[in-house]
């Protein structure tokens, strides 16, 4: 209930909070404003949240504030201001080892819901015998860009993974025109397109830094997220259910950051699907879309467990999610606090009991 949250934050500001408390409230209100599409107000509140302090904790919070100001500026099409805020953000976070920037790239092609020509389609895959949803506008945009404005990047795009090899990555011309296999591009989009989330969706998943990478087979065209992009470099990064990098999007740009210390020579890994899914569901999806079975440490451990144990754990996690949702959407007074803490402690004990020591130690 973001509108109510915004009212509560604004009431707190009107009540006269000062110092760090006021900055925290302004920063949180800026996020609510972004979700509600109040971009002018979001930018103002984000700037009011800046601390101008060199303490590492406050610098990290200023990074968030600049990011929200930049996001609001982007939505307002104020790109110069957006660039200025992002430059300041990067200057603050340059020494953040755990959050080191690993990749910053603009999309090769992207489509957004606010564009009138944005559309989705449904195709029948004779190999899997499924009707699959696909961001048709991105498919068309990619083909047109390769043929008309960026033929020099044909090999870069067609070398990406797709179940149908088509013409491969070689350049083919006929009568002076570059020839593309539209079905090959279809499969490349299906396996490599990133969903660019709305602010509300980012709120839902940012704890993991994850976004669903592609449209799962069988998805209805009407339910396909409106914003999609093809990032040729990010698509080359392999998967792990225990990734060392997470991604965020600013318009049609992707920013990949380390989520833990990455030593020289270590492979950069991202998650294609959420590790909170049951291992069986993860494996089925990865095999269906990307044609591989994950063998990361998490998958190896979970596949050794009895299915009923995983189901018990999933039930506890679901209950914990409901508790977190209740806490985040309702004001909790002092009389409820002790009860909530005890409930959380019981959930923690139940969750811990689902991890067998001989597998997880």
pLDDT digit string (tens) for 63-106? 889 999 999 999 898 999 999 998 888 887 644 444 566 777 88
* Gap between the Cα atoms of 166 and 288, Å rounded: 19
* Gap between the Cα atoms of 188 and 140, Å rounded: 12
In terms of pTM, does the model score above 0.75?
no
Nearest to 34 by CA among 71, 74, 81: 71
Instruction: Give the residue-averaged pLDDT of 305-334.
Output: 83
Instruction: Give the residue-averaged pLDDT of 123-140.
Output: 79
pLDDT at 3: 87
Instruction: Give the residue-averaged pLDDT of 212-224.
Output: 45
Nearest to 54 by CA among 99, 87, 95: 95
Domain ranges for the chain: 2-95, 121-286, 304-360
Is the pLDDT assigned to residue 206 strictly greater than 50?
no
Instruction: Give the residue-averaged pLDDT of 306-311.
Output: 88
pLDDT at 98: 42
Instruction: Give the residue-averaged pLDDT of 319-335.
Output: 77
pLDDT at 223: 45
pLDDT grade for 45, boundaries at 50, 70 and 90: very high
pLDDT grade for 119, boundaries at 50, 70 and 90: low
Count the neighbouring beta carbons within 10 Å of the beta carbon of residue 119. Answer: 16
Q: Where are the beta strands (DSSP E) in the chain?
A: 101-106, 109-111, 121-125, 130-134, 173-174, 177-178, 194-195, 228-230, 238-239, 245-250, 253-258, 269-270
Q: Which DSSP category does 128 fall into?
A: T
Angle between helices 56-75 and 79-93 (to 10 degrees): 160
**Over pLDDT 90: what percentage of the chain?**
25
When the pLDDT of each residue in the chain is averaged and rounded to a whole number, the result is 81
Is the pLDDT assigned to residue 122 strictly greater than 80?
no
Torsion of CA 248, 254, 260, 265, to 10 degrees: 170
Instruction: Say if residue 206 is exposed, middle or buried (CB neighbours under 10 Å; 0-12, 13-18, 19+).
Output: middle
CA angle (214, 218, 220) in 5-degree steps: 85
pLDDT at 327: 79
- What lies within 8 Å, CB to CB, of 109 at 6+ separation is 138, 141, 142, 145, 229, 230
**Over pLDDT 70: what percentage of the chain?**
83
* Gap between the Cα atoms of 286 and 273, Å rounded: 8
The CATH number assigned to the domain with range 2-95 reads 1.25.40
Instruction: Give the residue-averaged pLDDT of 38-52.
Output: 90
pLDDT at 358: 76
pLDDT grade for 241, boundaries at 50, 70 and 90: very high
């Amino acid at each position: 209930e973001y509108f109510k949250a915004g009212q509560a934050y604004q009431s707190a500001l009107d009540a006269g909070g000062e110092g760090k408390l006021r900055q925290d409230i302004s920063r949180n209100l800026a996020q609510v404003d972004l979700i509600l599409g109040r971009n002018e107000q979001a930018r103002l509140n984000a700037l009011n949240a800046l601390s101008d302090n060199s303490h590492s904790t406050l610098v990290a919070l200023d990074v968030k504030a600049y990011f929200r100001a930049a996001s609001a500026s982007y939505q307002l099409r104020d790109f110069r201001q957006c660039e200025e805020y992002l430059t300041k953000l990067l200057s603050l976070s340059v020494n953040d080892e755990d959050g080191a920037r690993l990749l910053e790239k603009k999309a090769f092609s992207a489509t957004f819901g606010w564009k009138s020509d944005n559309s989705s389609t449904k195709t029948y895959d004779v190999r899997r015998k499924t009707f699959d949803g696909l961001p048709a506008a991105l498919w068309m945009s990619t083909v047109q860009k390769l043929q008309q404005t960026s033929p020099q990047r044909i090999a870069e795009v067609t070398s990406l993974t797709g179940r149908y090899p088509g013409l491969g990555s070689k350049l083919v011309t006929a009568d002076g025109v570059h020839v593309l296999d539209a079905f090959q591009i279809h499969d490349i989009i299906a396996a490599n397109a990133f969903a660019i989330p709305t602010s509300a969706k980012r709120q839902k998943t940012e704890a993991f830094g994850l976004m669903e990478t592609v449209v799962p087979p069988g998805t209805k065209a009407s339910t396909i997220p409106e914003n999609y992009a093809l990032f040729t470099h990010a698509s080359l990064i392999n998967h792990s259910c225990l990734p060392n990098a997470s991604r965020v999007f600013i318009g049609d740009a992707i920013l990949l950051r380390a989520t833990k210390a990455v030593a020289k020579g270590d492979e950069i890994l991202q998650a294609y699907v959420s590790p909170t899914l049951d291992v069986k569901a993860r494996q089925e999806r990865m095999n269906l879309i990307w044609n591989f079975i994950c063998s990361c440490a998490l998958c190896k451990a979970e596949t050794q467990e009895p299915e009923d144990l995983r189901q018990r754990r999933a039930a506890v996690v679901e209950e914990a999610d409901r508790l977190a949702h209740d806490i985040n959407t309702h004001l909790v007074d002092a009389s409820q606090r002790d009860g909530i803490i005890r409930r959380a402690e019981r959930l923690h004990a139940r969750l811990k009991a689902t991890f067998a020591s001989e597998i997880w130690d």
